[in-house]
Amino acid sequence: MQNVFNALTRATRDLFDRRIIAMVFLPMLGSIVLWTVLAWIFWDAWTGGIAGAMGSTTVAGWLQGWSATWVIDYTAALVVLIAILPAVFVTALVITEIIAMPVIVRFIGERYHPDLKRKAGGTVIGGIVNAAIGISVFAVLWIFTLPLWLTGVGAILAPVLTSAYLNQRMFRYDALSEHASREEFVGVIRAARGDLFLLGILLSLLLYVPLVNLLVPVLSGLAFTHFCLAQLARARGR
């Protein structure tokens, strides 16, 4: 657990480095702007499609009998909003992977682990496959945990746990791809699986803090890179 907090501490400090601060808000703000524009363009189509699908259900017929069809419209809007929230998060992570992670890995490698040999066990294709698997699993988990939102506590825990999974799945690959061999990657992940998930949970909780949540994608990239490279250096006996 100490290694997790060390990674978070260093990541927070590095947010204010000139090479990092220039792009710290870009992923989340870019994602918000993108989905705001898409929602503005396609809102009627999205809500109309969902309302149309709901209109053929027994519940819809009952609501029509009570002249309460407005419930369908409001429910359709709520479903779209619920779908957009994870889409914003996922898009911000993807932007971070593409734009920020190459800078972050180079920055942390040069500053904190200059003697750590690069074995380049990761590939661009591997990164794409890893991201695709992570996002697909995240989407399935999000859908299947939606009923938990009705339980109160589940409305907080379910998004945190699913976001934690995606966080660690996405960033651990990028953090290690340049420096670790394939065998080392597997070894580091297996040895630190619990700590990686804990780090993902702590970072996901920050999504609930206004303004701070704008920093979470880049902070996550920094934290996971710090943690993973430190674990790799430790595994090599450095």
- Rounded average pLDDT per 10-residue block, the chain, 238 residues: 90 91 89 94 85 61 53 74 89 93 93 87 87 93 80 77 93 92 90 94 92 92 95 84
Model confidence, pTM: 0.88
Q: Give 36's Cβ-side CA count (13 Å radius).
A: 6
- pLDDT value at position 56? 61
- pLDDT value at position 2? 84
Burial class (CB in 10 A: 0-12, 13-18, 19+), 206: middle
Which runs of consecutive H residues, i.e. helices, occur in the chain? 2-14, 18-21, 26-54, 58-65, 70-95, 101-112, 124-144, 154-177, 182-191, 193-205, 216-235
- pLDDT value at position 225? 96
- pLDDT value at position 55? 62
- CA atoms of 165 and 167, how far apart (whole Å): 6
